[in-house]
A and B are shown apart, each in its own frame.
With several copies, the nearest count.
Chain A
Amino acid sequence: MIIRLQSEDFDPEREAQMLDVKGAGARVSFVGTVRDSARDRTITALEIEHYPQMTRAELARIGAAAQSRHNLQEVLIIHRHGRLACHERIVLVTVWSAHRAEAFAGCQAIVDALKTRAPFWKKEISPEGALWVPGQTPQDLG
């Protein structure tokens, strides 16, 4: 399992190739990018704050839980922080499995968990001003 937190951009295919997973059969990837509008406002940039030590620990827990539950051969998570312009990549989640159903379920479980458990906070920068993106409140934290 590879977990990376960084401010720089990444090449999704190159990162996946570097893991060199053989014989998995199915690979599912999610790439999230900065949208150019949200809540009826034009977005020019996104500022992503995070809690570095906890982010690393929480992503490792999220990845490990999905890996065992969905029978994944390998998991790659790269999440950026800092200021990102619109259309830039924010996050990559790639998983490998023998079968497609497990790969889809495992990748989606990780992306869903990022939204509710990973300590990132996003501020949308628009010509009208900056606004924190409302986070999701899961029922089962703690």
Chain B
Amino acid sequence: MITVRCFAAVREILGWDTRELAPTDAPRRASDVLSALAGPRAADLPKPLLVAINCEHASLASLVRDGDEVAFFPPVSGG
């Protein structure tokens, strides 16, 4: 399974914070994972949208594999 997490404004817009997604045979990019779960609401998400895979910064074009945790969130503001 692929675990998908959302934070901050992304979580508020999509209305959930964690989902599981069954893996597919064909390789999927983070953008495909987002489309599969966000549907038409993907258009409302903040831009730029940041992506992390397994707790490391990644991009919408990064490949997601079975067992990965992929996260979507707005630009961060730590410190």
Contact = CB atoms under 8 A, between A and B. Distances in A.
A51 B58 contact: no
Interface string B36-74: 000000000000101110011111001000000001011
Given A51-B7, A142-B57, A119 B79 contact: no
Size bracket, chain B contacts: 20 to 34
Given A58-B55, A121-B8, A137-B48, A79 B78 contact: yes
A116 interface: yes
Contacts of B75: 116, 134-137
Given A51-B5, A51-B71, A132-B9, A118 B55 contact: no
Contacts of B55: 51, 53-54, 57-58
Size bracket, chain A contacts: 20 to 34
A134 B79 CA distance: 13
B79 to A, nearest CB: 4
A57 B56 CA distance: 8
A21 interface: no
B77 interface: yes
